[in-house]
Amino acid sequence: MKKQVLLMGSSGSIGKSTLDVIRCFPDLFAVSGLTVNSNTGVLLEQIAEFSPRVVAVRDAFQAEEIAKHLPPGITLYKGDEGLRQIAAETEYDIFLGAMVGFAGLSPTIEAIKRGKRIALANKETLVVAGELITGLCKQYNAELLPVDSEHSAIFQCLVGESSSNVRQLIITASGGPFYNLPKEQFSSITLQQALNHPTWKMGSKITIDSATLMNKGLEVIEARWLFGFPKEQISVVVHPQSIIHSMVEFIDGSIKAQLSTPDMKLPIQYALAYPDRIPAGHVTTNFPLIAQLTFFEPDTSKFECLNLAFQALHAGGTAPCILNASNEEAVSRFLRGEISFTKIPYIINKALDLIPLCHAPGMDDIFDCDREVRLAVNSF
């Protein structure tokens, strides 16, 4: 039988790649529902092709507009509550969380409570509430599978291995567009330069996170909860070619790595089909053409955001939530041209210094912390 997929965030890069995979395997997967933030033009095109039973639009104005154009028989959910409802009330087998940011947390919780397979590309969910989310997955017997290329690589390397045999998880980073740029030139970085990622095609927020290396910091925190290893067993290495998507070193000194040409369809396909592998022609890797693979230590004096993420993971409690919320707000302000590139780590650092921690938060504390941080950082 076809697996029904609820795709949260269908208009973004991960969402579109997911639909590419489903398009390639119409006998295996079908679209149960689609959600977008505000891009209803793309959503209408996707509805025409994939015929979902339900859709959700987060932006209230755009939701009202698309309601006038929906084909008969499709249920429309609206706003943040609509995103939660579509995950809680509709029928599907796989929840693919491709939304960007904290907004992905609430729908993911609802899918977990229903014991669904969670194919997670929304790293913020585990960053802000990792211990709570993994606890809920155990409670409701939900299956949590990574979609991020780095975490998918680690997951694949760990298949069949005992955790007691693992020495460290090694997360690779492209280094972004500014890895070789002197720190004294960071203050003059423009938005256009920051959005020009050398390897991956991604949405604006994730691309800026890659330029600051916050993306790697969030991935370290995510890996802590996905795989259950302490921060001391998680490291980051810069690998500009982005062919090795991550590695696992074992206690005997051997290392497993997952390699491929950069293409998000591969980890998406793996999460949808797991434990099977299905043949596909959209990812090929030509090693003679690649020629070389290089590696470097990340420079945390230049890329302060990576260091701030390790600090937040060490502090625990709501510190990762403070880190994430302040980063989301700072990146939004940079994208709107309100602050400089170097102001992003400044705002995050100030938030971590000034906002009190809750050391043993419940889920309500996480939501309260997120709201408090967003209000506070507007004055930074």
Are 26 and 161 in the same domain?
Answer: no
Q: Provide the number of structural domains found in the chain.
A: 2
Are 26 and 126 in the same domain?
Answer: yes
pTM: 0.94
Are 208 and 129 in the same domain?
Answer: no
Are 61 and 37 in the same domain?
Answer: yes
Out of 269, 298, 327, pick the residue that ends a domain: 298
Q: What is the pLDDT of residue 343?
A: 97
Question: For residue 266, is it within any domain?
Answer: no
Are 169 and 294 in the same domain?
Answer: yes
- Could you report the per-residue pLDDT of 264-276, keeping only the tens digit for each? 999 999 999 999 9
**CATH code at position 75:** 3.40.50.720
Are 52 and 129 in the same domain?
Answer: yes
Residue stretches of the chain with pLDDT short of 50: none
Orientation angle between helical segments 319-335 and 214-227, nearest 10 degrees:
150
- Could you report the per-residue pLDDT of 291-328, keeping only the tens digit for each? 899 999 999 999 999 999 999 999 999 999 999 999 99
Question: For residue 155, is it within any domain?
Answer: yes
Say which amino acid occupies 69: H
Are 289 and 158 in the same domain?
Answer: yes
Burial of 76 (0-12, 13-18, 19+ CB in 10 A): middle
Are 115 and 167 in the same domain?
Answer: no
Are 172 and 54 in the same domain?
Answer: no
Q: What is the pLDDT of residue 42?
A: 97
Question: For residue 249, is it within any domain?
Answer: yes
Are 14 and 59 in the same domain?
Answer: yes
Question: For residue 309, is it within any domain?
Answer: no
Q: Give percent above pLDDT 90 in the chain.
A: 93
Question: For residue 257, is it within any domain?
Answer: yes
Q: What is the pLDDT of residue 100?
A: 87
With beta carbons less than 8 A apart as the criterion, state whether 277 and 320 touch.
Answer: no
Range of the domain at 132: 3-146
Are 159 and 292 in the same domain?
Answer: yes
Question: For residue 59, is it within any domain?
Answer: yes
Question: For residue 49, is it within any domain?
Answer: yes
Out of 274, 298, 322, pick the residue that ends a domain: 298
Question: For residue 106, is it within any domain?
Answer: yes
Q: What is the pLDDT of residue 236?
A: 98
Out of 247, 272, 298, pick the residue that ends a domain: 298
Are 140 and 158 in the same domain?
Answer: no
